[in-house]
A and B are shown apart, each in its own frame.
Chain A
Amino acid sequence: MPRTLNRNHRHTSAVAAATVALITVLSACSGGDSSDGAAQGTDALKFAIQTPPNSLDPSQLTVGENAFIWSALYDTLLYMDNNGELKPNAAESWKYSDDRRTLTLKLREDLTFSNGGKVDANAVKATVEHTMRTPGPSRALFKSVDKVEAFDKRTVVFSLTKPDAVLLYALAAEGGVIADPKTVDDKRTVRNPVSSGPYVLDEAKTEAGTVFSLKRRDNHWNADAFPFRTVDIRLIRDPGAYTNALQSGQLNAGSVRVEDQARVKAAGFTGTEVKANSLAMLVIGDRAGEVEPALGDVRVRKAIAMAFDREKIIKQLLKGVGEPATQQFSPGGPAHDPELGGLLDYDPQQAKKFLAEAGYPDGFSLRMPEIIYAKPFVPTITQSLADIGIEVKWDAIPPQRTYNAYSSKKYPVYFTVESANAFPRELNWHIPTNTSHNPWGTRDPKLDDLMAKYHAEPDTDRGTELAKEMNGILTREVWDAPLFTLDRQWFTKDGITVLNTGKSSVPTLRWFGVSGEGADR
Chain B
Amino acid sequence: MTADTTTANTAPESVAQRISTLRRLARNPQAVITASTLMVIVVAGLLASVISSHGPSHASLDAINAGIGTDGYPLGADKDGRDILALLLHSINTSVVTALIGTGLALAVGVPAGLIGGYFGSRVRAATEWLFNLIMTFPGLLLLIVLMPVTKGDFRATMALFGVLLAPNVFRIVRNQVLGVKNELYVDAARVSGLPDRRILARHVLFAVRGPVVIASAFLAGTSISVQAGLAFLGVGNSEVPSFGAMIHSGFANLYVAPSQFAIPSLLLGIITASLVLFGNALRDTLEGSPRKPQPIVTPTPRAATGTSERAEGLLVVEDLAISYESPDGKPNEVVRGSGFTVQAGETLGLVGESGSGKTQTAFAVLGVLPPAARVTRGSVRLDGRELLGLPDREMRKIRGRTIAYVPQEPMSNLDPSLTVGAQLATSIRAVEPMPRAEARQRVLPLLGQVGIPDPERVAGSYPHQISGGMAQRVLIAGAVAGRPHVLIADEPTTALDVTVQAEILDLLHDLRKRLNMAVVLVTHNFGMVADFCDRVAVMRQGEVVETGTTTETFDAPRHEYTRMLLDSILDDTTTRSDAPPRADAPPLVDGPQHTDAPIGGKRTS
Contact = CB atoms under 8 A, between A and B. Distances in A.
A390 to B, nearest CB: 14
B58 to A, nearest CB: 7
A398 B301 CA distance: 67
A462 interface: no
Interface residue tally on A, bucketed by range: 20 to 34
Contact of A2 (B60, B80, B236, B394): B394
A143 interface: no
A291 interface: no
Interface stretch (B105-113, B147-155, B194-202, B415-423): B147-155
Contacts of A239: 253
B149 A382 contact: no
B256 interface: yes
Contact of B392 (A2, A313, A372, A382): A2
B253 A395 contact: no
Interface stretch (A10-18, A255-263, A278-286, A414-422): A255-263
B212 interface: no
Given A2-B392, A317-B64, A378 B240 contact: yes
B153 A398 contact: yes
A398 B150 CA distance: 11
Contacts of A376: 80
A396 B237 contact: yes
Given A317-B80, A396-B148, A380 B61 contact: yes
A2 B299 CA distance: 8
Contacts of B153: 370, 395-398
B239 to A, nearest CB: 5
B252 interface: yes
Interface residues of B, number: 35
Contacts of B298: 1-2, 4-5
Given A257-B253, A375-B239, A378-B239, A395 B300 contact: no
Interface string A315-330: 0110000000000000
B240 A309 contact: no
A95 interface: no
B159 to A, nearest CB: 14
Contact of A398 (B82, B148, B256): B148
Contact of B81 (A1, A316, A378, A393): A316
B606 interface: no
B238 A240 contact: no
Nearest to A396: B153
Contacts of B79: 259, 317
Interface in B303-359: none
Interface in B114-162: 148-149, 152-154
Interface string B252-294: 1111110000000000000000000000000000000000000
A370 B238 contact: yes
A383 interface: yes
Interface string B51-82: 00000011111101000000000000001111
B446 interface: no
B434 interface: no
B466 to A, nearest CB: 33
B336 to A, nearest CB: 23
A4 B393 contact: yes
B275 to A, nearest CB: 27
A320 to B, nearest CB: 12
Interface string A262-282: 110000000000000000000
Contacts of A372: 235
Contacts of B57: 379, 382-383
A395 B257 contact: no
A401 interface: yes
Interface in A162-194: none
A263 B148 CA distance: 36
A396 B152 contact: yes
Interface string B26-66: 00000000000000000000000000000001111110100
Contacts of B255: 240
A443 interface: no
Nearest to B148: A398
A81 B365 CA distance: 94
Contacts of B436: none
A401 B393 contact: no
A385 to B, nearest CB: 11
Contacts of B64: 316-317
Interface in A368-426: 370, 372, 375-376, 378-380, 382-383, 393-398, 400-401
A394 B60 CA distance: 19
B60 A383 contact: yes
B238 A394 contact: yes
A393 B239 CA distance: 11
Contacts of B296: 1
B300 A1 contact: yes
Of the listed residues A239, A316, A375, the one surrounded by the most CB atoms of chain B closer than 10 A to its CB is A316
A312 interface: yes
A392 to B, nearest CB: 9
A273 B501 CA distance: 94
Nearest to B258: A259
A263 B58 CA distance: 30
A263 B239 contact: no
B238 A395 contact: yes
B239 A313 contact: no
Contact of A379 (B81, B238, B394): B81
B240 A263 contact: no
A313 B64 CA distance: 10
Nearest to B240: A394
B394 A380 contact: no
Contacts of A259: 79, 253-254, 256-257
A363 B269 CA distance: 37
Interface string A283-327: 000000000000000000000000001001100110000000000
Given A240-B253, A317-B64, A383 B240 contact: no
Given A1-B300, A316-B81, A260 B240 contact: no
Nearest to B254: A259
A316 B58 CA distance: 16
Nearest to B80: A379
Nearest to A381: B59
A316 B253 contact: no
Contact of B301 (A2, A240, A262, A312): A2
B456 to A, nearest CB: 34
A400 B153 CA distance: 13
Contacts of A378: 80, 239-240
Nearest to B300: A1
A316 B63 CA distance: 9
A395 to B, nearest CB: 6
Interface centre among B62, B79, B82, B237 (most CB of A within 10 A): B79
Interface hub of A262, A375, A393, A401 (most chain B Cβ within 10 A): A375
Contacts of B235: 372, 375
A370 B240 contact: yes
Nearest to B249: A375
A146 to B, nearest CB: 40
A261 to B, nearest CB: 10
A383 B392 contact: no
Contacts of A2: 298, 301, 392-394
A2 B58 CA distance: 63
Interface string B225-255: 0000000000111111000000000001111
A1 B253 CA distance: 51
B193 to A, nearest CB: 55
Given A4-B393, A397-B153, 5 more contacts: A5-B298, A259-B254, A379-B81, A398-B153, A398-B236
Query: Which 4 interchain pairs have the tightest Cβ spacing?
Result: A396-B153, A379-B59, A379-B80, A383-B59
25 contacts: A2-B298, A2-B394, A4-B393, A260-B256, A262-B256, A312-B61, A312-B62, A316-B62, A317-B61, A317-B81, A370-B240, A375-B239, A376-B80, A379-B59, A379-B80, A379-B82, A380-B59, A380-B61, A380-B81, A383-B57, A394-B238, A395-B152, A396-B153, A396-B154, A401-B149
